[in-house]
Amino acid sequence: CAIFYRRAERGNKFRCRTNSNACAPGKALTCKRCRYNHLVNLLTQSGSKLKSQAENQPSPVDKSIESPSCSTAFSPPTRLTSEKPLLERLKMHYKAMCTVRLNSEIYSQPDPPHPLKINLEDTPLYPATFKSINLGVRILMSASLDFGRNVFPEFAELPEKERWTLVVNFFYRFRIFEACYRSAKVFPDDAEKYLLNYCSYVTSQMFETFLNDAPRGNLPGVK
């Protein structure tokens, strides 16, 4: 049947033996015209049935998009903690790191606001002091260790010395980059203000008060 159909498709023209184009199908069918018509009808019906079945079945592409465990090609899942794409993990754990820094810095203030007033979208800001900067650096270093472990599972397997070296290098580069970006975003019309911590800023006019809570060593010499 397949050979006969391909030959007919290539241009062989057949005429019905009875000139009716309605010869009965079956083993006794010898009319090539009606035999060809019968094959065309079978193929048409089969194609319509397959199309109907496909339309009624859920799309495998849609299912994979809706699945929470789907990942993109640039970040193949190698273990449970890294099933999400790299960019998504970076965004998620950076936000978590910011939340840790925000809460830690806010509650180190003498009079922190109500918990309902503390959020990343409307961060309370305070004038920076020596003590607040020192504390903010420690908080960021600790949060960076968690950030590294959560985003890159291999980071946790490194020797302690290598982990610390990576975090220190990350700290100096990341802190300047983030501070410049957030300062421009939070203070778009005030170039004098600069965010030294997540929720504390400094200006050139704050030098005297900045050192008020510093250790009382050679403070006049520092000034």
Interval 9-24 mean pLDDT:
65
pLDDT > 90 fraction of the chain, expressed in percent and rounded: 42
- pLDDT tier at 216, thresholds 50, 70, 90: confident
pTM above 0.85, yes or no: no
In this structure, is residue 62 part of a structural domain? Answer: no
Kindly tell me the sign of the dihedral angle through the C-alpha atoms of 18, 21, 26, 27.
Answer: positive
Structure tokens at 80: 């449970």
pLDDT value of position 214: 81
Interval 26-35 mean pLDDT:
65
**What DSSP string describes 85-125?**
-HHHHHHHHHHHHHHHHHHHHHTTSSSPPPGGG--STT---
Interval 87-116 mean pLDDT:
92
Q: Report which of residues 106 and 217 the model is more confident about.
A: 106
Which among 100, 108, 103, 106 is positioned nearest to 213, based on CA atoms? 108
Lowest mean pLDDT among 54-63, 104-113, 136-145: 54-63
How many domains would you assign to the chain?
2
Strand, helix or coil for residue 201: strand
For residues 32 and 128, state if they share a domain: no
pLDDT value of position 29: 59
For residues 184 and 97, state if they share a domain: yes
The C-alpha atoms of residue 23 and residue 28 are separated, in whole angstroms, by: 10
pLDDT(132) > 70: yes
Mean pLDDT estimate for the chain: 76
Q: Report which of residues 122 and 43 the model is more confident about.
A: 122
Edge-to-edge strands of the sheet including 126-127?
126-127, 200-202, 194-195
For residues 88 and 184, state if they share a domain: yes
For residues 47 and 89, state if they share a domain: no
pLDDT value of position 11: 55
Q: How many CB atoms lie within 10 A of CB 81?
A: 14
pLDDT > 70 fraction of the chain, expressed in percent and rounded: 63
In this structure, is residue 28 part of a structural domain? Answer: yes
For residues 108 and 196, state if they share a domain: yes
- Report the helix count and the strand count for the chain, using DSSP H and E: 8, 3
For residues 40 and 105, state if they share a domain: no
For residues 153 and 206, state if they share a domain: yes
b/e map 188-208, b = 16+ CB within 10 Å: eeeeebbbbbbbbbbeeeeee
For residues 11 and 89, state if they share a domain: no
Cβ contact 151:136 at 8 Å: no
pLDDT digits (tens, 9 = 90+) for 39-94: 666 656 655 444 455 455 544 443 433 333 433 333 333 454 456 788 899 999 99
Lowest mean pLDDT among 52-56, 127-131, 152-156: 52-56
Rounded to the nearest angstrom, the gap between the alpha carbon of residue 218 and the centroid of all alpha carbons in its chain is 49
Beta bridge partners of 195: 201
- pLDDT tier at 122, thresholds 50, 70, 90: confident
Rounded to the nearest angstrom, the gap between the alpha carbon of residue 79 and the centroid of all alpha carbons in its chain is 17
pLDDT(10) > 50: yes
Cβ contact 167:141 at 8 Å: yes
Write the single-letter amino acid at 47: G
39: which DSSP letter? H
What range defines the domain where residue 186 resides?
A: 83-222
